[in-house]
Amino acid sequence: MLLPKVRPTRNALHRVVPHRTLTSGLSGRSLLLQRPMDDDGATTSPDRWVSMGGVPVKLMEFGPAIEEILSRAGDTGAPPLGVCSANLDHIRHFGSGGRWAETLEQSRSLEWLTLIDGAPLATEARRLTAKAWPRLAGSDLVGPLLDEAERRGLSVGFLGGSVETQEQIRTNFEVARPKLAVAGWWAPPRSTLGDDSASRELAATIAGAAPEILIVGLGKPRQELWISEYGALTGAKVLLAFGAVVDFLAGHIRRAPSWVSSNSLEWAWRLALEPRRLARRYLVEGPEAYLRLRRDSGLSRTPARPLPSMDVPERAPSRAPGSFLPAGAAADVAVVVVTYNNHDDIGPLVLGLRKEAMNQSIKVVVADNSPDDHTLNALAQYPDVIAIRTGGNLGYAGGINAALSAAGEAGTYLILNPDLRIEEGAISAMRRRLAQTGAGVVVPVLLDDDGSIYPSLRREPGILRALGDAVLGSHMRKRPGWLSEMDFDEESYLHGHRVEWATGAALLLDAGAARAVGAWDERFFLYSEETDYCHRMRQAGYSIWFEPSARMWHKRGGSGASPQLVALMSVNRVRYAEKYLGRGRVVAFRGVVLAAEVARLGKPGHREAAWALASRRRWDQLPHAVPDGGGDL
C-alpha cells in the first residue's frame, strides 16, 4: 500500500553507529553492518520498504545487504532469493505502466530482493524517508560477495556473457580468487533463453552442478524474467540479476572514476563508452522512467513476499473423460463459440476441446449466426455440444451475448474463434494464470499456420499510436510503444505479463469479472468489440494477463473478407474513440485513420473505408446486426 509522500523533518533524521564489522576476504574491504538509531538513541529497523515508480525496493545499508544475501545462500529452509538493483531502466521495465509491471511480484517459486541503484532513485529515497541511502549496484556488491563466498566456502555459478568473456574471468580468478568454488559456467544462446523446454533443460544442468549462488548476467529485463520463471529449478539459493557484472569482472568495461560516481554522472560515463547500445536507454527511454519515478513513488507498509502456491479449483469431472457437461451443470470452463459458415472448422475445435476435458469439467456453447444450416448440421454429430440458432447475424458481440446467456454456471468463460486449434494443456495454463494473478481476463499465444507467433497483444488506441501505425504499418517494429498499437516485440510473447488488450480470438474470462462488466457492446458488431470489453474490464478494476505456455493455432480470416468489412474495421475504431476519447481528440483520431485509408486507396476495401470515414451517413450501410428471432437446435 502506498502512503502519501512526506517531507523530511529534523526529528526524522537518523545517526548511524557501528553495530558489527565483517572483514571482506581478499579485497580487504571492511563491511560495516550498521543499525540506524533515532536521535534519542533507540534502535530502529536498519532497512525499510518503499515503492519506487511502482517497484517494491528495500532500502538497506551496504553491510546488511551483503549479510542478508550471504545468509540466504546458506539457508536451506527459505525459498530461493532473487536479487536485483533498481535503476531507471528497471523502473521502465518493471514499474507502473511498464511492460513487466507486477511480473516479479507474481512469482511463486522465489522471493525478490530489489535494492536501490541509480542517482535518481537515491534522491527519491532520501526525499521519501528523510535519510540518505547508499546505492547498491551489482557491480559494487559482486566483489565483496565473491570474497565472502570464497571465505565461507559457498559455491558460485555464472550464467550469461560470451564464452570468451567467461574465459577471461576464469583467468582473472586464478590470480584474484584462487580458492573460490566455481560450480560452473554457462553461456547459452538467446534462442535457448526464449525456449521453455530449453530453459528447463538449462536449469536442470545448472542444478546438477549445485551452485549455492548463481550470478545471472543476461541483461535487463531478460535476466529477471528468466530467474522468475526458471530460477528455482536451478537449485541455487541466491540468484543475482547483475547484468553487466560479467563484463566488469572480465575487465571489458571500466568502472567510472569516483568523481563521476559522486556527481551522479555514471550514466554519462557509460553512455560515452557504449553510445550505440545505451543512447536509446538514457536519452529516449530514461526521461519517461524518471517521470514514473516521481509520480508513482511512496512509502510501502509491507515488503513484497512470494505469493503462496495456488491450485486451480476444479469441479467434478465430466460424465466421461473427454465429454462435455450440459448447460444446467456447473463447470470449470464454459467455452463460448460464435460461428458464421464454419462447418469445416468446428470438428478440429471440438477435438481439441475434448482433450482439454480429460482433467477439467467443460461445457461448450455455440451460437450460430450462419444464414444456412450447414454449421448446425455439422454440430449435430456432437450431441453434448450446446448449439443455439441466433436466427440472424447478430455479429460477434451479439453472438457472444447469446451464448453466454445459455451457458449457465461456470467458474470461467472461454471465448474462442471457431477456426482455432488448441494445444493440449492450454486451457489449464490459462486457468492457472487467472487463479495466480486474480486477473479478469487471460489470453494465450496465437500461432499462424507456419508456426510463427502472431502479434496479438495490443496497447490502448490513441492518436500517436494510430499515426505511427498509419505511417509505418508493420515496418520498424522496434519503434516506441507510444507509436504503435500492436506489440511487435518478440520478448513480449515469451513471458507472462499484464497487457491492455489482445485480439478477441481467445479470451478466458473470470466469471465474477464477467458479471461485473456485463454484456458485450453490440454496437461494434465485428471489430473493436474486444478492445471495448477489455477497456471496461480494466475500468472495473480487473487486470488482463498474457500466458505464454497456453498456445493456440489460428487460421485468421475466419470472419471473411470484403470491402465492407475493411470499412467497418476503420469505422469501429472511430466508434471506439467516440466512446472513450474527448471530442477534440476524436476529431484528430478520425483524421489520422482517414489519412491512412486515403494513403492505401489502391488496395481492396480502403476506398470504401475512406468514403465511410468521410461521410457518417454511410455507416448504416456497413454490416450490422440483423436479428430475425431464433431458437435452440
pLDDT in tens, 327-383: 999 999 999 999 999 999 999 999 999 999 999 999 999 999 999 999 999 999 999
Q: How many CB atoms neighbour CB 514 within 10 A?
A: 22
Provide the pLDDT for residue 315: 61
What average pLDDT does range 550-568 have in this prediction? Answer: 80
pLDDT in tens, 249-268: 988 776 677 766 666 667 66
Interval 139-164: pLDDT, tens: 889 999 999 999 999 999 999 999 99
Is the pLDDT assigned to residue 407 strictly greater than 80? yes
b (16+ CB within 10 A) / e for 49-58:
bbbbbbbbbb
Copy the grid coordinates of residue 476. Answer: 520498424
The vertex-194 CA angle with 189 and 199, nearest 5°, equals 80
What does the angle CA 117 – CA 119 – CA 120 come to, to the nearest 5 degrees?
A: 100
Q: Please give the full DSSP string across 19-86, using - where no structure is assigned.
A: EEEEE-TTT-PEEEEEEEE-TTS-B--S-EEEEETTEEEEE--HHHHHHHHHHHHT-SSSPPEEEEEE
The DSSP string of 127-193 is HHHSS------HHHHHHHHHHHHHHHT-EEEEE-S-HHHHHHHHHHHHHH-TT-EEEEEE---HHHH
**Order of strands, sheet of 155-159, starting from the edge strand that comes earlier in the sequence:** 111-116, 81-86, 238-241, 213-216, 155-159, 181-186
Delineate the domains of the chain, giving CATH numbers in brackets: 10-299 (no CATH), 331-554 (3.90.550.10), 563-621 (no CATH)
State the pTM of this model.
0.81
Distant-in-sequence contacts of 491-495, Cβ < 8 A, 24+ apart: 491/194, 491/221, 491/222, 492/99, 492/457, 492/546, 493/445, 493/453, 493/455, 493/457, 493/546, 493/548, 494/194, 494/225, 494/548, 495/100, 495/103, 495/225, 495/229, 495/548
- Asked if residue 83 lies in contact with residue 239, where contact means CB atoms within 8 angstroms, the answer is yes
